[in-house]
Structure 1
Amino acid sequence: MKIFRIFLFMLIIVVFSSCSTNKNAIVAHRGAWKTNNLPENSIAALRHAIDLKLPGSEFDVWRTADDSLVINHDAHYNKLIIEETKYADLSKFTLFNGEKLPTLREYILEGKKNNKYTTLVCEIKPSEISKERGKMTALKVFETVKKFNAEKMISYISFDYEILKQIREIDSKTSLQYLEGNKSPLEIKKDKITGVDYHYSVFKKHPEWIKEAKDNKITLNIWTVNDADVMDWIIDNKFDYITTNEPELLNQRIKNSF
């Protein structure tokens, strides 16, 4: 009887682990900023995501006119177009918590501090100047990541398919996820893109893509999920990652699902 109890206990652990590992992993959208009223894409938002031990923290990268790689969501910062402005001029304006506009270098260095759990999900923004500039930005981002030996903690995402293909040309293994939502999992598999990271409305329209991705070992990520009912639908479908502005709420919904 004692041996049977031990066997049953170990079986429960194995089953629970297989259900929870790499399924419904939380990615904080632009860092974990909302609860503590932090600036999006700030060092502080990244640090809070790491302190929460979240599986992922997403951030956005642009390249300035003088080739600095900076973290910001929109194409403009304080009414200045990032791609047409030098970093020195951008950095004159601080975020509302007093931080200066962070660079990719600073973001990576912060991400490496006391971090055993959180992947940095790097969105390379499509260039509004040209496709070629976007591909060059991708190369510079990759070079910076490699310079600071951060390859194992970075996953790349983009709305620009050519940016992802550019990175795949120089790295055959790194994680790449496509954001636009206009290609099936089988289509991206042909180009050796490892994941789809689509708005939840895309998967509502194409529920067959969920199974197609799973059958073909394509990573499933989904954005940006803030509504509890939508969270529950996604949790039931066992996505690999869920990107959200509400990591604390999502964490509670996942716990409630067990």
Structure 2
Amino acid sequence: MSKDGVLIIYHDEHYDSLEISETRFADLAKLKLKNGENIPTLKDFLEKGKKNPSLKLVIELKPMNSKLRENELVQKVVQMVKTFQMESQCEFISFSLNICEQLKKEEPTFKVKYLNGDLSPLEIKQRGFDGFSYHYSVFITNPGWISQAKMLGLITNSWTVNDIAVFEKLKTQGIDFVTTDIPDQLLHK
């Protein structure tokens, strides 16, 4: 979310030397991505996604410098998703425990997964989240977590799985999904 409250789609908290949350949208709108396009807004993302209802849109809400700002972010995202009537097409992830809790508080039916890797499957279930998406190293350190999550009815995902041997190990453990930069190599494994 920009300094003036505009919801944008960008993976990192910074664009070059600019901190997105401390930069006005008018200044961000002047910038070009590496592919020559402008930084898209959440509105742009939802408009395009709505054209193909078979797509599942995963929205990551980045942690912010205060709970107040995070709560504002959550309220704005929830409202926009509802305005577009895309509740069933969107899922949400965050490294912020507060953001995940606020998402469930604002809209209990939203699918919310926690990213930080510091909560066990039981703790995820107790907080009312739908699952987790942890770096693959968390599952190497905690090899029973995927099976525990399955028993609790949680969704499991791992990122960024770019090693075929790691993928095979996670697949053997029963992981539901992986995030990868090499989908063509993992597709037939």
Does the pair score TM above 0.5?
yes
- Distance, in Å, in 2 between the alignment partners of 1:240 and 1:183 is 18
Please tell me whether residue 72 in structure 1 is matched to residue 5 in structure 2. no
RMSD: 1.2
Once the two structures are aligned, what percentage of the paired residues are identical? 41
Aligned to 1:125: 62
Give CA deviations for 1:89-122 in whole Å, capped at 9, x if unaligned: 0111111222100000101111122342x31111
SS at match of 2:59: strand
Unaligned runs of 5+ in 2: none
Query: 1 CA distance for matches of 2:87 and 2:5?
Result: 21
Task: Return the alpha-carbon distance in structure 1 between the equivalents of residues 70 and 106 of structure 2.
Answer: 15
State yes or no: 1:81 paired with 2:19: yes
- Aligned residue pairs total 189
CA displacement at 1:218 relative to structure 2:
1.0
Q: Is the 8 A contact 2:7 2:41 kept in 1?
A: yes
Q: Distance in 2 between matches of 1:232 and 1:126?
A: 31
Instruction: Check the 8 A contact 1:138/1:163 in 2, yes or no.
Output: yes
Which of 105, 113, 124 is matched with 2:43 structurally? Answer: 105
Unaligned runs of 5+ in 1: 1-62, 254-258
Bigger relative contact order, structure 1 or 2 (CA pairs below 8 A, ≥6 apart): 1
The CA deviation at 1:78 is 3.0
TM-score by length of 1: 0.71
CA distance in 1, matches of 2:2, 2:135: 28
> Is the contact made by 1:78 and 1:93 (CA closer than 8 Å) also made in structure 2?
no
d(CA) in 2 for partners of 1:249 and 1:159? 28
With the length of structure 2 as denominator, give the TM-score of the two structures.
0.95
Per-residue CA deviation, residues 130-173 of structure 1 (Å, 9 max, x unaligned), is 12211211111111111111111111000101111101112122
